[in-house]
């Protein structure tokens, strides 16, 4: 029997400071060993290199030739770097992230699919109780799924469109359409690589080889591969059947369930830039095809709103000639046609169903009731009277996007939102959990200095998280907790006590969280809520995600940033501004965002801000800043004097991170 104490007991013998010194000694020993090994390799290599062979030395020539592969192998290993032997390990948390795309299988109560905007495509075969990833190992496939569709006539055939079309300022781009013919086991790229963002895919109800794709195109610039595309051979070839211009793309599609030759499509003129989201323009419009998508007619007048139009959502009822259109327009709202799209009537103009139109504008028809219709926005809503009134349906999370309803059993559905995907078998009265799908998006990651270390990050549209890197019995729900701040900020654990955490969010919010007591304090330098205001009207331009960093030389010093650098040495009780405006302060890029119809100022588009702050770990008071509009500054005296050191090769509006 060994009398040596366990490792945990050994560490309990040391104070935190001694453990840190022990860690430093270990690192130093490893470094020395590494240097010694490197020197030994060089010595062996030098000693083992034979002299050039002559006619009298044939054996030496053989030796030299034989040594070359071994030497090359060693060089290749060194070129891989010191981390190539490490592998990734999922830490968690097991909590869902944003999901736009969902689908089920008609008549199959157990099988469902969803596509995360950064987590790839997933499948459940037990009604949403557990999920498994399908596309993690698909070569070159973007992890952002904007649309997913199962062929109604063959559930083995699935199409997935990459790149989300709810174009936030922080999105992952796509690289075309992928297809599976074995219910998600394997996937093949089938084209449209330059579409970037795909809003919807629909498959012909009777032929799995016929599918249409609504491709929005590049959110940040013009490109021609956008509009409505159709394949009639299972993705081998694609035809652009509806196209407006290089600034307008497809956003929604709907088959008439009773006649697959009738198809409705929404085109959307939209553009993203770091300082603006613009939704709407002459390119937007509602279209109808009566020949399966070969030709299209733009629908206008006859009850549809005139003037500038933005995003459009469309759905077709399963009986009669009823069509629904949710339209972003100054005179917009939910429109209904009872004659297959010839004439229209505005049935609901309530703003709560069309707010933040660029991010929502989702409408779905009830498969059984001609008067039943769903609208997804910040909440999920259902109408039973033809769209005149709506009642909310409680779902696990807010910001709702995707819905699939089984036409054979309308009580069975899968719904998605910014918290993940959930299944209901009772018409939305209850839902499966979202704590079984690790698809969360995190803005930043940082570790503290305890042992074992903890990892921190802020999850999009959720809380911040502090989570253990290791735990007895495995990492589980008790192994993590929120640490203040909000969904988008940097996090900085206190170097003196990792149970004290500083966390940020948009609009300049920064909090100090004490896990010992559970107390959280708002220590924002400027206690004015700027949400809804243009950047040009704000005293301090706080971005969606502002830097929060500790000084590596003084654990009492914490830095924060807007267009200027803030500094506190008393845990946020007082703040000092230690810089002038270190951005270009271009007023033309600080105007109200949203476009010509719906204004949207939430912080993402606040521009001309300091996007990165770092103090040199070698020299105290040497601080670097990088702005989101392309400037690099440095101070060597703690902020008394600053110099613009932007490289000449830096793009004029390049972002530093």
Predicted confidence at residue 60, as pLDDT, reads 35
For residue 123, give the nearest of 146, 154, 102, 137 by alpha carbon: 102
pLDDT band at residue 83 using 50, 70 and 90 as cut-offs:
confident
Is residue 65 scored above 60 in pLDDT?
A: no
Let me know if domain 99-424 sits in CATH 1.10.8.10: no
| Percentage, residues of the chain above pLDDT 90 | 84
pLDDT band at residue 70 using 50, 70 and 90 as cut-offs:
low
Alpha-carbon dihedral angle through residues 76, 78, 79, 83, given to the nearest 10 degrees: 120
Q: Where are the domains of the chain?
A: 1-33, 99-424, 446-644
pLDDT in tens, 492-531: 999 999 999 999 999 999 999 999 999 999 999 998 888 8
Strand, helix or coil for residue 55: coil
Predicted confidence at residue 422, as pLDDT, reads 98
For residue 605, give Cα distances in angstroms to 536, 541, 599: 11, 10, 12
pLDDT in tens, 542-564: 999 999 999 999 999 999 999 99
Predicted confidence at residue 657, as pLDDT, reads 80
Q: What is the pTM of this model?
A: 0.88
Alpha-carbon dihedral angle through residues 523, 526, 528, 533, given to the nearest 10 degrees: -130
Is residue 259 scored above 90 in pLDDT?
A: yes
Q: What does the alpha-carbon distance between residue 400 and residue 397 come to, in Å, rounded to a whole number?
A: 8
Predicted confidence at residue 72, as pLDDT, reads 63
Is residue 260 scored above 60 in pLDDT?
A: yes
pLDDT band at residue 33 using 50, 70 and 90 as cut-offs:
very low
- Per the listing, tokens 């083992």 go with 48
Q: What does the alpha-carbon distance between residue 393 and residue 617 come to, in Å, rounded to a whole number?
A: 52
Predicted confidence at residue 273, as pLDDT, reads 95
Q: What does the alpha-carbon distance between residue 594 and residue 280 come to, in Å, rounded to a whole number?
A: 9
Q: Which long-range contacts (CB under 8 A, 24 or more apart) does 649-654 make?
A: 653/274, 653/629, 654/630
Biggest alpha carbon distance in the chain? Answer: 101
For residue 103, give Cα distances in angstroms to 67, 111, 426: 58, 9, 17
Judged by average pLDDT, the poorest of 21-35, 166-180, 535-549 is 21-35
As a whole number, the mean pLDDT across the chain is 90
The CATH code belonging to domain 446-644 is 2.130.10.10
φ and ψ of 352, to 5 deg: -70, -15
How confident is the model over 605-624, as a mean pLDDT? 97
């Amino acid at each position: 029997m060994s009398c040596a104490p366990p490792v945990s007991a050994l560490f309990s013998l040391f104070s935190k400071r001694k453990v840190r010194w022990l860690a430093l000694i270990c690192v130093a020993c490893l470094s020395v060993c590494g240097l010694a090994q490197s020197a030994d390799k060089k010595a062996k290599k030098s000693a083992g290199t034979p002299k050039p062979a002559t006619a009298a030395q044939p054996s030496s020539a053989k030796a030299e030739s034989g040594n070359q592969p071994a030497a090359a192998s060693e060089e290749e290993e060194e070129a891989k770097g010191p981390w190539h032997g490490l592998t990734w390990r999922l830490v968690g948390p097991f909590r869902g992230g944003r999901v736009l795309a969902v689908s089920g299988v008609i008549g199959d109560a157990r099988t469902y699919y969803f596509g995360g905007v950064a987590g790839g495509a997933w499948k459940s075969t037990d009604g949403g109780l557990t999920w498994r990833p399908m596309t993690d190992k698909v070569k070159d496939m973007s992890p952002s799924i904007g649309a997913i569709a199962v062929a109604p006539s063959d559930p083995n055939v699935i199409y997935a469109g990459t790149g989300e079309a709810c174009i936030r300022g922080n999105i992952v781009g796509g690289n075309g359409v992928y297809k599976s013919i074995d219910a998600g086991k394997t996937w093949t790229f089938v084209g449209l690589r330059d579409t970037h963002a795909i809003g919807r895919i629909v498959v012909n109800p009777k032929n799995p080889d016929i599918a249409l794709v609504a491709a929005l195109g590049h959110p940040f610039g013009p490109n021609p591969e956008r509009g409505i595309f159709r394949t009639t051979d299972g993705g081998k070839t694609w035809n652009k059947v509806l196209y407006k211009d290089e600034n307008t793309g497809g956003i929604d599609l709907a088959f008439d369930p009773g006649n697959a030759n009738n198809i409705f499509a929404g085109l959307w003129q939209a553009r993203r830039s770091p300082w603006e989201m613009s939704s709407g323009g002459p390119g937007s419009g509602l279209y109808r095809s009566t020949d399966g998508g070969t030709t299209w007619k733009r629908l206008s007048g006859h009850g549809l709103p005139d003037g500038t139009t933005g995003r459009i959502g469309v759905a077709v009822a399963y009986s009669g000639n009823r069509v629904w259109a949710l339209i972003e327009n100054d005179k917009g709202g939910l429109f209904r046609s009872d004659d297959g799209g010839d004439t229209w009537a505005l049935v609901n103009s309530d703003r709560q169903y069309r707010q933040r139109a660029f991010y929502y504008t989702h409408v779905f028809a009830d498969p059984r009731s001609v008067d039943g219709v769903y609208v997804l926005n910040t909440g999920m809503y259902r109408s039973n009277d033809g769209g005149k009134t709506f009642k909310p349906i409680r779902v696990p999370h807010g910001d709702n996007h995707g819905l699939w309803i089984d036409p054979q059993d309308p009580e069975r559905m899968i719904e998605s939102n910014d918290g993940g995907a959930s299944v209901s078998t009772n018409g939305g009265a209850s839902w499966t959990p979202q704590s079984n799908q690790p698809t969360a998006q995190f803005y930043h990651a940082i570790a503290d200095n305890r042992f074992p270390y903890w990892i921190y990050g802020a999850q999009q549209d959720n809380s911040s998280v502090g989570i253990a890197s290791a735990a007895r019995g495995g990492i589980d729900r008790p192994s993590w907790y929120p640490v203040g701040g909000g969904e988008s900020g940097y996090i900085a654990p206190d170097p003196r006590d990792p149970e004290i955490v500083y966390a940020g969010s948009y609009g300049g919010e920064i909090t100090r969280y004490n896990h010992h007591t559970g107390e959280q304090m708002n220590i924002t330098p400027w206690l004015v809520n700027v949400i809804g205001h243009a950047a040009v009207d704000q005293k301090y331009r706080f971005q969606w995600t502002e830097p929060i960093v500790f000084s590596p030389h003084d654990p009492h010093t914490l830095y924060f940033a807007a267009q200027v650098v803030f500094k506190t040495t008393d845990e946020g009780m007082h703040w000092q501004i230690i810089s002038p405006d270190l951005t270009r302060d271009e007023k033309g890029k600080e105007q109200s965002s949203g476009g010509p119809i719906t204004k949207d100022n939430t912080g993402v588009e606040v521009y001309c801000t300091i996007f990165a702050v770092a103090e040199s770990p070698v020299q105290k008071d040497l601080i670097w800043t990088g702005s989101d509009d392309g400037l690099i500054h440095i101070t060597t005296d703690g902020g008394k004097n600053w110099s613009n050191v932007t490289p000449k090769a830096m793009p004029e509006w390049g972002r530093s991170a």
